[in-house]
């Protein structure tokens, strides 16, 4: 295992896809990740836009990209990054005091301080697993709860960063994730998550009661006019200024219906993964328009691998895994509402005609996405996450006796292959028009080109 401060990726360590890589690709990946860690800030501008380089490089490496594609990914995105900032004092010692640390939370100028602190804590406690147990998964602990909330801020970027650290067993990247979370805010999620948890406890006093399917909860949001019309494209923060401002009671009633029973954890995990890919793919298709994935919904797909990996860790208590999954489902529902509740339709997905159909989408489409121009990591992360979802849900899709199968929408490989094509076709549209924001709002689609009779990829 790499020591904290050194990033070292082995050729056989390629993440959930478990593809074979060369010694040379592993060496180059390690080198570029190290450069990013040593030279760049977590945000590339003063508006809090995230540095995605480590996500991008490992997603390329983990999906079998060539050295050339990996180097191009780094070159395209390193030029505009902010440099690291100097620490303010002796953070390895001072930030262990919670009262001192609290005063620096949510302030980007302290990123380096928190990074030094968590690196030191990994060394002091004996590993990144012990640090996560102490600072993220510790029950009835104010600091751990605070960190858990902040992990969900910034469109789940701290959780995505953590995903790559855990999946590749890299303590330095785990420290980067915890430091990143520390400089994010905790609003509005602290109030929402805790209030929803309290409400769910009251709703599920009957231990035999199962929660409704996640898709049915999304459909309930779409059918509720106050929720479905709660956000405007002009809102700054669509959840804070839209959903929870214009439909707070209606939304909270749905969030309190989320409840994962420990004995059904794996099945509910499969359902959450399926629901995200299904909702994202449905939202990417609009009649008469070229396909586009919603930029914010994709983050809820891109982060899926961490829930698969954390679910496999025996050292994490089951009640912690359950809580993480419940929070993920709730933030998925909030984001769905914030994107104006786009229509969910399996027919839209199955009837989609790919631009260039291939019999080997797991290979051919991955290569296409490796070679698109000016990706900052979002595109290859999306394809990688869809592939991880396909693999993880397979046993549940094939088990007719599984309770999860009743709620899964994407039940066979052919549908996933359509979604692979949908990703590749959409992200090849060009950097400026690659994504939309607010897929349920017709206004968000105004600048997306129409399909024509001669278009491939037509609906």
Does residue 289 sit in helix, strand or coil? strand
Last residue of a domain, one of 183, 213, 241: 183
Judgement on whether residues 72 and 35 belong to the same structural domain of the protein:
yes
pLDDT value at 403 more than 70: no
Least confident of 19-28, 224-233, 292-301, 402-411: 402-411
Judgement on whether residues 140 and 253 belong to the same structural domain of the protein:
no
pLDDT at 374: 87
pLDDT value at 459 more than 60: no
Query: Looking at the domain assignment, is residue 452 inside a domain?
Result: no
Last residue of a domain, one of 133, 165, 183: 183
Q: How far apart are CA 449 and CA 447, in angstroms?
A: 6
Query: Looking at the domain assignment, is residue 459 inside a domain?
Result: no
Q: Are 22 and 159 in contact (CB under 8 A)?
A: no
pLDDT value at 422 more than 80: yes
Q: Are 164 and 200 in contact (CB under 8 A)?
A: no
Cβ-based burial of 173 (10 A; exposed 0-12, middle 13-18, buried ≥19): buried
For 40, phi and psi rounded to 5 degrees? -120, 150
Query: Looking at the domain assignment, is residue 454 inside a domain?
Result: no
State the Cα angle at 60 between 56 and 61, rounded to 5°. Answer: 115
Last residue of a domain, one of 153, 183, 213: 183
pLDDT value at 207 more than 90: no
pLDDT value at 454 more than 60: no
Q: Classify the C-alpha dihedral 172-173-175-176 as positive or negative.
A: positive
Judgement on whether residues 142 and 209 belong to the same structural domain of the protein:
no
The pLDDT of 125-153, averaged and rounded, is: 98
Judgement on whether residues 114 and 220 belong to the same structural domain of the protein:
no
107: left (phi over 0), alpha (psi -120 to 50) or beta: beta
Judgement on whether residues 10 and 54 belong to the same structural domain of the protein:
yes
The band of 453, judged by pLDDT with boundaries at 50, 70 and 90, is very low
Judgement on whether residues 262 and 162 belong to the same structural domain of the protein:
no
pLDDT value at 458 more than 60: no
Q: What is the pLDDT of residues 74-94, one digit of tens each?
A: 999 999 999 999 999 899 999
Among residues 305, 301, 312, 323, which one has the least CA distance to residue 149?
323
Among residues 362, 355, 426, 427, which one has the least CA distance to residue 388?
362
The band of 430, judged by pLDDT with boundaries at 50, 70 and 90, is low
Q: What is the pLDDT of residues 259-305, one digit of tens each?
A: 999 999 999 999 999 999 999 999 999 999 999 999 999 999 999 99
The pLDDT of 173-189, averaged and rounded, is: 97
For 344, phi and psi rounded to 5 degrees? -105, 125
pLDDT at 3: 62
Judgement on whether residues 224 and 292 belong to the same structural domain of the protein:
yes
pTM of the model: 0.96
Query: Looking at the domain assignment, is residue 451 inside a domain?
Result: no
Q: And the tokens for 190?
A: 């602290």
pLDDT value at 451 more than 50: yes
CA–CA distances in Å: residue 154 to residues 16, 160, 220, 343:
24, 10, 26, 25
pLDDT at 1: 47
The pLDDT of 102-110, averaged and rounded, is: 96
Q: What is the pLDDT of residues 220-252, one digit of tens each?
A: 999 999 999 999 988 999 999 999 999 999 999
The pLDDT of 352-360, averaged and rounded, is: 92
State the Cα angle at 250 between 248 and 251, rounded to 5°. Answer: 65
The pLDDT of 202-217, averaged and rounded, is: 93
Which domain does 292 fall in, by range? 191-445
Among residues 10, 28, 20, which one has the least CA distance to residue 71?
28
DSSP string, 79-115: TTPPBP---SS-HHHHTTSHHHHHTTTT-GGGHHHHH
Q: Where are the alpha helices (H) located in 256-317, listed in sequence order?
A: 265-283, 297-302, 304-311
pLDDT value at 394 more than 70: yes
Judgement on whether residues 383 and 423 belong to the same structural domain of the protein:
yes
Taking residue 456's Cβ as centre, other Cβ atoms within 10 Å add up to: 11
DSSP string, 152-164: TTGGGHHHHHHHH
Q: What is the pLDDT of residues 182-194, one digit of tens each?
A: 999 999 999 999 9
pLDDT at 388: 98
Query: Looking at the domain assignment, is residue 456 inside a domain?
Result: no
Query: Looking at the domain assignment, is residue 450 inside a domain?
Result: no
**For the packed helices 304-311 and 157-167, what is the interaxial angle rounded to 10 degrees?**
50
For 435, phi and psi rounded to 5 degrees? -130, 160
Q: Are 106 and 154 in contact (CB under 8 A)?
A: no
Structurally, the chain folds into a number of domains equal to 2
Judgement on whether residues 102 and 1 belong to the same structural domain of the protein:
yes
Judgement on whether residues 264 and 159 belong to the same structural domain of the protein:
no
Q: How far apart are CA 412 and CA 384, in angstroms?
A: 18
Judgement on whether residues 176 and 285 belong to the same structural domain of the protein:
no
Query: Looking at the domain assignment, is residue 262 inside a domain?
Result: yes
Judgement on whether residues 197 and 293 belong to the same structural domain of the protein:
yes
Among residues 137, 157, 155, which one has the least CA distance to residue 147?
137
The pLDDT of 39-44, averaged and rounded, is: 94
Q: How far apart are CA 106 and CA 110, in angstroms?
A: 8
pLDDT at 404: 67
Query: Looking at the domain assignment, is residue 453 inside a domain?
Result: no
Residues in contact with 402: Cβ distance below 8 Å, sequence separation at least 6, in sequence order: 267, 395, 396
């Amino acid at each position: 295992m790499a020591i904290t401060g050194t990033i070292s990726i082995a050729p056989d360590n390629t993440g959930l896809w478990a593809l074979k890589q060369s010694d040379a690709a592993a060496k180059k990946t390690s080198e570029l990740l190290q450069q990013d860690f040593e030279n760049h800030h977590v945000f590339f501008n003063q508006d809090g836009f995230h540095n995605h380089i480590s996500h991008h490089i490992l997603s390329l490496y983990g999906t079998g990209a060539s050295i050339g594609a990996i180097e191009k990914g780094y070159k395209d995105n390193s030029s505009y990054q902010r440099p690291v900032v100097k620490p303010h004092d002796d953070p390895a010692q001072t930030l262990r005091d919670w009262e001192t640390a609290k005063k620096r939370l949510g302030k980007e100028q302290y990123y380096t301080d928190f990074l030094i602190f968590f690196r030191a804590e990994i060394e002091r406690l004996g590993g990144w697993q012990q640090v996560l147990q102490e600072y993220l998964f510790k029950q009835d602990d104010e600091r751990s709860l605070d960190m858990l909330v902040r992990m969900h801020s910034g469109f789940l970027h701290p959780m995505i960063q953590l995903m790559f650290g855990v999946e590749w067993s890299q303590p330095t990247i785990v420290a980067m994730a915890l430091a990143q979370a520390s400089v994010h805010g905790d609003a509005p999620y602290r109030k929402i998550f805790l209030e929803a948890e309290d409400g769910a406890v009251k709703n599920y006093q009957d231990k035999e009661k199962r929660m409704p399917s996640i898709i049915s909860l999304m459909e309930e949001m779409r059918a509720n006019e106050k929720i479905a019309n709660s956000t405007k494209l002009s809102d700054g923060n669509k959840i804070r200024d839209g959903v929870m401002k214009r439909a707070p009671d209606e939304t909270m009633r749905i969030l309190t219906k989320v409840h994962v029973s420990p004995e059904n954890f794996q099945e509910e995990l499969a359902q959450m993964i399926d629901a995200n890919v299904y909702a994202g793919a449905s939202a990417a298709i609009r009649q008469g328009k070229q396909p586009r994935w919603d930029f914010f919904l994709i983050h809820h797909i891109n982060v899926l691998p961490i829930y698969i990996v954390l679910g496999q860790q025996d050292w994490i208590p089951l009640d912690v895994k359950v809580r993480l999954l419940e929070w993920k489902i709730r933030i998925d529902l909030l984001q769905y509402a914030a994107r104006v509740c786009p229509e969910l339709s399996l027919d839209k997905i199955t009837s989609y005609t790919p631009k260039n159909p291939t019999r080997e989408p797991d290979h051919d489409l991955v290569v296409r996405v490796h070679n698109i121009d000016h990706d900052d990591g979002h595109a290859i992360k999306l394809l990688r996450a869809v592939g991880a979802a396909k693999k993880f849900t397979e046993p549940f899709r094939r088990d007719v006796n599984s309770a999860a199968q009743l709620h899964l929408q994407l039940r066979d490989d052919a549908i996933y292959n359509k979604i692979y094509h949908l990703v590749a076709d959409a992200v090849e549209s060009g950097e400026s028009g690659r994504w939309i924001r607010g897929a349920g709002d017709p206004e968000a689609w105004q600048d997306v080109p129409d399909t024509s009779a001669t278009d491939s990829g037509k609906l």
